Each structure stands twice: as C-alpha cells, then as structure tokens.
Amino acid sequence: MSNEKECIIYVVEDHQVLLDGVIRYLQLSGFSANGYPDLKTATSAIQARKPDLLIQDVMLPDGDGFLFVKQLREKQDIPVIFMTARGDESDRITGFELGADDYITKPFSPKELVLRVEAVMRRIKLKEKESPAANCMKWTDSCGNQMDFNTNRHYLAINSDAITLTAAEWRVLEYLITNYGQLESREQILERCFDYSYESYERIVDTHIKNLRSKLSGNWIETIRGYGYRFAGKKDQQ
C-alpha cells in the first residue's frame, strides 16, 4: 500500500513498551501514528483532531476502553480496532456490539496488527471510491415501511426518520442490501464485512443483526434458521 496510508492513527495503550513498539511498526509501515497512555490524553487529542483510525486498549488506568468508545461513538463515527488481553468470546462480542471494526488479542505480532489496519483502511478507501450513481436506494418492507439508503452520503432513514448505525452495522446492512434476495451465511458475512472467517466469531454476526433489528422498525432482515440471513425489502422503482 502506498498513498492510501496518508491517514492519522491514534493508539491508546498504557504499557509504554508495547505502545512504543506499535507506534514504531506502524510508522515503519508507512502510517502516521501517535500514541497515548491513557484516556485523558487520548480525549484531548481526539478533540484537537479526529483520527482516521483508533487502536484502543480496553483496560486502562483511568477507565474502561469499551465505555470510552461507546461514549465516543455517540458523538462521532471513528473506525476502531480494540487491542486487548481480554480474549474471551464475551469480550470480543462486546467490542463488536460497540461497532468495532476489528479486535486483536494480546500477544500479537506487529505484522498481524498492520495487516488488520490495512484491511480496515482498505474498506474505507473502497467506500470513498464508490460511484454515487447507484448509491441512493429506496426500499419497502412487508409492513409498508419505507427505507432510504444512500451509501454515498452514508445516510439511512426509516419512514423519513434518520437512523444512526455503527460502522460495522452499516457494513453488514450494506452487504445484505447489495445482495438483496440472496441468502447469505454467517461465514460469508464475516468474510465480506470483517476480513476473517473464524467459527468462534459467527455469534458476532448474530449480534450485529440483533442490533440492526432493534434500530430498524419493520421487517427488513429475514432469518433462515441454521444458515444465515437475507435482506427482505423490496426495491422501489425510481
């Protein structure tokens, strides 16, 4: 990757040796990266300049990284990779419920982290390059609800009421809409939306679907028991 690395990455990690190592490896890989040892300094930095990506530790001396990201996401949409020693499935699911773009468990190799960073940034760049022509879509569900879905403006509304989604929720919904009428397995959704396909992560898809259904009033996502999901809206003629 070359010019697409022209972005700023913030790393929040209280272990100074690990922080220095991650920052140095990201910089050697062509990224601009700044490190912060606690939530206080990270908050000040984000207020001064919004990063293109946040690599966030969970257990910090002045607070919980999960709660920090939850509060941050209420104000602005910043791609997030959680970087933590808490590798239990429940912790991974918590991270993805908060809209994490990825989750890496310590210990990890610097190369693996860079590959995950590149995957997240690649998705962002592909989104920016999409042609606006086919990006505005209108849908109706079986209950008569109306959906406006505009990928270029990153806008979603149900019955004219704007809906806010996390970055991960948006990718899942967009993937289902792009392939409307087709049945998509959990594994397919993982591979296409999150760049990995580990069986233990399949519950994460269910979590995102559950969150989407709680935000989208109506009957928009159909569950095919034992297999996966399908977007159930019907496209309006434009």
At 94, which CATH number? 3.40.50.2300
Both 90 and 179 in a single domain?
no
pLDDT of residue 73: 80
SS3 102: strand
Q: What is the mean pLDDT of residues 145-166?
A: 89
Above 60 in pLDDT, residue 194? yes
Residue range 141-157: mean pLDDT, rounded: 89
Looking at the fold, whether 19 and 106 belong to one and the same domain comes out as: yes
Whether residue 39 is found in the same domain as residue 28 = yes
Count of domains forming the chain: 2
State the average pLDDT over residues 133-154.
84
Residue 75: Cβ within 10 Å count: 8
Q: Is 43 exposed, middle or buried (0-12, 13-18, 19+ CB in 10 A)?
A: middle
Picking from 95, 129, 163, the residue at the C-terminal end of a domain is 129
Separation of CA 88 from chain center: 19
Q: What number is the average pLDDT over the span 206-230?
A: 91
Q: Does 69 or 85 have the greater pLDDT score?
A: 69
Q: Give the end of a domain, one of 129, 160, 175.
A: 129
The reply to whether 74 and 85 lie within a common domain is yes
Domain end, chosen from 101, 129, 157, is at 129
DSSP helix/strand/coil, 84:
strand
Task: Say yes or no: 124 and 136 in one domain.
Answer: no
What's the confidence (pLDDT) of residue 36? 97
Can you read off the two tokens belonging to residue 137? 């879509």
What is the structure's pLDDT at 200?
A: 54
pLDDT above 70 for 119: yes
Residues 103 and 197 in one domain: no
Q: What does the pLDDT average to over 181-191?
A: 88
Q: What is the pLDDT of residue 233?
A: 93
What local confidence, expressed as pLDDT, does residue 129 receive? 59
Residue 183 pLDDT > 70: yes
Quick one: average pLDDT of 18-47? 95
What's the length of the chain? 238
| Per-chain mean pLDDT for the chain | 86
Q: What is the structure's pLDDT at 124? A: 72
178 and 197 in one domain?
yes
State the residue range of the domain holding 69. Answer: 3-129
- Residue 132: pLDDT band (50, 70, 90) is very low
Is residue 170 located within the same domain as residue 225?
A: yes
- My answer on whether 120 and 162 are in the same domain is no
Residue 12 reports pLDDT greater than 80: yes
**Which of 145 and 201 is assigned the larger pLDDT?**
145
